[in-house]
Structures are given as structure tokens and as C-alpha cells.
Amino acid sequence: MKTLTKNFNEGMKKILKKEKKILIVGHNNPDGDCIGASLALYNLFKNASFPYLSVLMPSDMPDFLKWMPAAENIDIYEKGKSEKLIYGADIIFYVDFNDTSRTEYFSEELKKSNAVKIMLDHHPEPSSEVDFIFSDTETSSASEVVYRFIGLAGLEKYIDKDVSTCLFTGIMTDTLNFSVNSSKPETFRVVADLLSYGTDKDDIYDKVCNNFSEKRLRLVGYMVYEKMKTVSDLHYAYMLISKKELEKFDFKNGDHEGIVNMPLTVSGINISITAIEKDDFIKLSLRSKGDFDVNALSKKYFNGGGHKNAAGGRIYKPYNEAEQYITDSLREFLTNK
């Protein structure tokens, strides 16, 4: 589904002026697509000599993204300081999320701000609380949407290697290295364009995928060997892990990334879930193959959502009740639909 606000192009030409204070915001626990798309915009406007630019994330990014061009300029949410940034902005870009609630810590401030709000996203059901929406659920990533946005806004001449590197990283990570959400020829046309700016794809792959600690690889082994359970009649797998277990592996934000995909490599497994104990809730990652809709599953049972084949969620229950809740929910969802 594509949502493009009427007169989007004319609107951008009128609004995007150099004297405006631009704030780019992403979602909580920003991933490669969110950071890539946000930093691409930052680098683009910098190249176009816009002097007032900020990027604000609700929480820090994983270490394997910290090399990205201009990543050092990202502000991480700090109570008091970030509100000033939001209320001081003339234009706010919402990048890679469909609703202010996804920013977690400053969603009320975003709602109250009088800035012109522009959403660039690819998640289903974009909220209508913004002034301009360019959202396309058929695209690979928010980064692909940003690439097209740059064209619509007439800003192509400001794309350089930094901008293209950010966009390529976003597309590569959101498609799990071009294994999902990347069957449209258009995605590869965008990628071909990006490579023409000198983007070093092998170097990006190496920085993103071969950048973990030894402990993180041992955590992967532990989760797969000790924690993975499969429910073969319903074709799903899940892994629950407690805070105490994670501490043994010096767990850092982002370390579990990718682990949820591993059970899908088993023939006959169509849905995979990881559940990680946090301070106040249990954080879920959900992945699926084909027509199994984990967005609907997470919306119905796990206080979350995302895309059909990749979603997040939360369980607000004690850790020792989570396993029963997950298996009951999956049974109901998969046998009643």
C-alpha cells in the first residue's frame, strides 16, 4: 500500500528552506534501516548547506552501526534536553515508523510540537497525525523510501558516497542481506544507483555482519543449543532467555539481532520467536516465512506489530509465565485463523 499526501512534491519545495530547523527522528531501538535512512537525510541536507540539522533517537544504536557517516552527530534521548530539540524544530521527519508511540520516550512532545511533520516509512497503517506522508509498504525499507523522497524533493544532486552508503546499509539490513522484502526490480534499480556513487558494498557487509564480540557468538550457540524449542505440529520455534543468563554473555543491545532468524533455516519451521527478559517486560522478536503474518500475531497477543514477516512485541507478565503465554497464544492463533 502506498500513501502519498496530495501535493507532496510542491509541499516539499515550499517547506524545505535553509532557514528552517530540521529535526530527524527515528524509532526506539533503532535498527540499520532507521539509522541508515535518518543519517542519509542528515548527510543530504548537510551537503545542501542546511545549517540547522539534528538527529534524535529514543535509544542508542547497536555498536555495529556506529561507523556510519555522521553517526557521531546523533542525539540519544535525554530528558530535558531532547524536549528543547523537539519544540525548537520547524520541520520534523519521522523516519521508519508509523506512529509516535514507536518513539516511546517523546511521543507526547512530538504530538504537541507545531513543526511541519513529514513521515517517510514503509510500515502498514501510517498514522494521520502528520502533515505529509510518503509511505510504501511494498518497498524494501525506509531507506528506499528516502531515496525516492530525495527524487520527489528534487535533491538528487546532493547525494554523495556518504548518503548512498547510509541508504545501502538500510536496504541491506532491512532485507536481511537481500533475502526478504527485496523481490521488486525497483529495489535493485535503487541499489544499482546507490553503487554508482562509489558505495563499497563488501566493506559495508563486513562492518555490519562481521563485527560482533566473541561472547556474542557464544550466546548464539547457547541460545540455539540450549534454549531453542520447536513445536513441530504448528511449525514454529521459540527461544526464551532470562536476564541472568544474558549477563553471563555481557549482553549488549543489538547482540540478539539476527538470532531470531536462525530457526527459520530449519526445514518446516515457518515462525520464529525470541523472548528476552527486560526490567519491566519481556521483549519479543518475531520472524516468519511466506504467508504467516507475525504483524497480526503480535498485534493480537504481544502488544506490538511491524511487518508481515518481521515484527516486535512485548509481554507484560512475569518471566516464568511467558513461555505458557507464548505457546497458548500461538496455538490459538495458528489453529483458529
- Is the CB of residue 330 less than 8 Å from the CB of residue 288? no
Q: Which is nearer to Mn ion, 216 or 307 (CB)?
A: 307
> At 48, phi and psi to the nearest 5?
-85, 10
Mark the segment that binds Mn ion (CB under 5 A) among 138-146, 195-203, 209-217, 250-258: 138-146
Which cell numbers hold the place of 274?
A: 525470541
Mark the segment that binds Mn ion (CB under 5 A) among 26-34, 260-268, 296-304, 318-326: 26-34
Asked if 174 is part of the footprint of Mn ion (rule: CB under 5 A), the reply reads yes
SS3 274: strand
Asked if 33 is part of the footprint of Mn ion (rule: CB under 5 A), the reply reads yes
Please pick, from the candidates 58, 89, 96, 305, the single residue that binds Mn ion as defined by CB under 5 A: 96
The number of CA neighbours under 13 Å toward the Cβ of 253 is 11
Q: 94: which strand partners?
A: 25, 119
Q: Which is nearer to Mn ion, 58 or 246 (CB)?
A: 58
Q: Which is nearer to Mn ion, 33 or 257 (CB)?
A: 33
Question: For residue 171, which amino acid is it?
Answer: I
Asked if 35 is part of the footprint of Mn ion (rule: CB under 5 A), the reply reads no
Q: Which is nearer to Mn ion, 35 or 269 (CB)?
A: 35
Q: Which is nearer to Mn ion, 69 or 312 (CB)?
A: 312
CA–CA separation, 196 vs 168, rounded Å? 11
- Give 116's DSSP letter: E
Indicate the length of the chain as a whole number: 337
Asked if 121 is part of the footprint of Mn ion (rule: CB under 5 A), the reply reads no
Asked if 162 is part of the footprint of Mn ion (rule: CB under 5 A), the reply reads no
* Residue of closest CB approach to Mn ion: 33
Q: 241: which strand partners?
A: 276
> At 239, phi and psi to the nearest 5?
-135, 125
Q: Which is nearer to Mn ion, 141 or 288 (CB)?
A: 141
- Residue 223 CA: distances (Å) to CA of 49, 89, 261, 285, 318: 48, 44, 12, 14, 20
* Residue 159 Cβ vs Mn ion, minimum distance, rounded to whole Å: 20
* Residue 157 Cβ vs Mn ion, minimum distance, rounded to whole Å: 26
Number of residues that bind Mn ion (CB under 5 A): 5
Mark the segment that binds Mn ion (CB under 5 A) among 1-9, 74-82, 91-99, 248-256: 91-99
Which cell numbers hold the place of 23?
A: 529535526
> Could you list the residues that contact Mn ion (CB under 5 A)?
33, 96, 141-142, 174
